[in-house]
Amino acid sequence: MKKTIIISNRSVYHKYAEVEIILPTDIKEEEIADWLFENSTLWEDKLDDKLSESEIDFGFGLDYDAQKNRQGFMNDSESESETRYDLYESHPLKITGGHL
């Protein structure tokens, strides 16, 4: 009797994209996330378009190399998708950031 072996593999790929928008100078640091949610029309479609155009990379996208030099801020291993903001005074001098 012939024995059958099934070889299988699950590989994970990810995409990464980013867009820049101008934050009004009167927005306080603790108000940034709320302001971004209230003004999502300024960035959501642009980010979706960039994501559609971006290349597929192998891996979870959680490590430094996959971050396009964003220093590993994409780090939510429990989430299937992750969106965050990072405010820079002058790149790479980061002031604040967080997940949306």
Q: Per the domain annotation, does 8 fall within a domain?
A: no
Residue 32 has pLDDT above 80, yes or no: yes
- Maximum Cα–Cα distance for the chain, whole Å? 77
Q: Per the domain annotation, does 2 fall within a domain?
A: no
Q: Per the domain annotation, does 60 fall within a domain?
A: yes
33-81 pLDDT tens trace: 999 999 999 999 999 999 999 999 888 877 655 555 455 677 777 888 8
What global pTM score does this model have? 0.75
Q: Per the domain annotation, does 6 fall within a domain?
A: no
Q: Domain tally for the chain?
A: 1
Tokens of 87: 């405010």
Range of the domain at 55: 13-99
Q: Per the domain annotation, does 1 fall within a domain?
A: no
Identify the three-state secondary structure at position 53: helix
Q: Per the domain annotation, does 3 fall within a domain?
A: no
Q: Which of 54, 74, 72, 76 is nearest to 64 (CA)?
A: 72
Q: Per the domain annotation, does 57 fall within a domain?
A: yes
